[in-house]
Structure 1
Amino acid sequence: MSRLGLTRDKIYKTVARQLHGQVPCWVCGLHVLREEATLEHIQPL
C-alpha cells in the first residue's frame, strides 16, 4: 500500500471510531462503512 493509502487508512480508522464505524465516502460524501468508502459503492463492478 502506498504512503498516501496508509495515511488515508489511518484517518478513516480515527474518523470511524468517532462516527460509530461509518465514514464519509471519498466520492459522494454519504456516510458508509469504512470498507465501502470507494467508487465501487456507487458503481458496482
Structure 2
Amino acid sequence: EQALAADEAFLQDSPYSALRYRNVPWVNALRLSWDNLNYGWQRWVLGY
C-alpha cells in the first residue's frame, strides 16, 4: 500500500481495484479466505 500511495490516482476509477475495497470487512475476509484456500492447494499439490 505504501508503494502505491503516490500513484493511487490511476486505481481510483477501477471497480476491481483492491485499494477501493480495503475498508470493506467482508471483502477483506473473502480475499483472505481465497488466499488461505490457494495456500492450502499449493501446499498439498507442491508439497511445501
TM-score tier after normalising by the smaller chain length: 0.3 to 0.5
The structure with more radius of gyration? 2
User: Which of the pair is proportionally richer in helix?
Assistant: 2
Structure possessing the higher relative contact order (Cα contacts under 8 Å, 6 or more residues apart): 1
TM-score (norm 1): 0.40
User: Which of the pair is proportionally richer in strand?
Assistant: 1
